[in-house]
Every structure is written in structure tokens, then in C-alpha cells.
Amino acid sequence: MVGTNEMAPVYPVEIAFAIFSLVTSNFVYQVLFSEITTIIKNVFLQDTMYQEAIDQTYEAMQYVGLTTDEQKDIHYYFKLTKKTRQMQSEHDLFFQ
């Protein structure tokens, strides 16, 4: 923190203020980074939920014993449905 030829707190009040300001700034940075982390997590939450649903669907299709072609058709249907919903939400957002 303090290097060569730098000013440093000398009196007890200055030292207390320096400690208080360092702890406070540390808390502010912690809150800021936690908020950024939450925002990033929420951005990827929809993709994670979609992938989990697809994984469960694949397990169910294998359990039922569907053929590979049928599984591909169902997967194509889900991809098309997701894309259509994204396009619709973009359309709704644009015309709001």
C-alpha cells in the first residue's frame, strides 16, 4: 500500500480513517462483483434450463426406446420451437 516516498497516515485518526476507507471500499467492490456475477448467471439461466430439459427429454426418449431418427425429429422440433419463441419475444420487444 505504501511505497517509497509516499505519504502514509501517521496519527491514530488518520490510520483509523485509512482502515475504514479500505474496508468500506472492499465491501463496495464485493457488492459490485456479486451483482455482476448475478447478472451473468441470470443471462445464462435460460440456456441452462433449456439444456436440462433437452437432457431429460433424451433420457426419456432412450427409456421409451425411440429410434435415432425419431429422436432427431423430436430434437429438431424443440430447436425450432425455441427459435420461434426467441423470434417472437424479439418481435414483442421491438413493438413495445
Q: How far, rounded to the nearest angstrom, does the alpha carbon of residue 64 sit from its chain's CA centroid? A: 34
pLDDT at residue 35 greater than cutoff 60: yes
**What does the pLDDT read at residue 13?**
92
pLDDT band at 96 (very low <50, low <70, confident <90, very high): low
pLDDT band at 9 (very low <50, low <70, confident <90, very high): confident
What sections of the chain are H helices per DSSP?
12-64, 68-94
C-alpha cell at position 79? 430447436
Q: 42-88, pLDDT tens digit by residue?
A: 778 877 888 888 888 888 888 898 888 988 888 888 888 888 887 77
Cβ distance 2 to 8 under 8 Å?
A: yes
Q: How far, rounded to the nearest angstrom, does the alpha carbon of residue 93 sit from its chain's CA centroid? A: 21
Q: What are phi and psi of 64, to 5 degrees?
A: -70, -30
Give pTM, 2 decimals.
0.45
